[in-house]
Amino acid sequence: MIKVYIAKGKITITGHANFEDSGKDIVCAAVSSIVTTSINASLKIEAGSLIHREEYEKKELSTLTIDVISDNKNVLLILENMVEMLEELAETYKKNIKIIKED
């Protein structure tokens, strides 16, 4: 299961969807597409608006952490949209992705 932890100024995505075999997993592909597009758009609007770190386990991405270091309204809207899209995905694929919001 993919878990998305959302806290003030930080988003951490960990795990694997396990919807299908590697390379055929539409849930993993959707999460990757949503997150990569959002990171790239944020950095295009304001270089240095966030820091993203990737950790690999056995050549597979196991954790992605995004630290938001900008208060740029457009960057924040992109990241808010990213979270909303991930929440919609989690509604459809409840067994494969979970959103956890921390206060």
Where do the domains of the chain lie?
A: 2-101
Q: How far is CA 100 from the centre of its chain?
A: 12
Task: Write out pLDDT tens, residues 17-67.
Answer: 999 988 899 999 999 999 999 999 999 999 999 998 887 766 666 889 999
Q: Where residue 86 falls among pLDDT bands split at 50, 70, 90?
A: very high
Cβ neighbour number for residue 4 with a 10 Å cutoff: 23
Beta-sheet strands, E only, within the chain: 2-7, 10-14, 50-57, 60-68, 97-101
CATH topology of domain 2-101: Alpha-Beta Plaits (3.30.70)
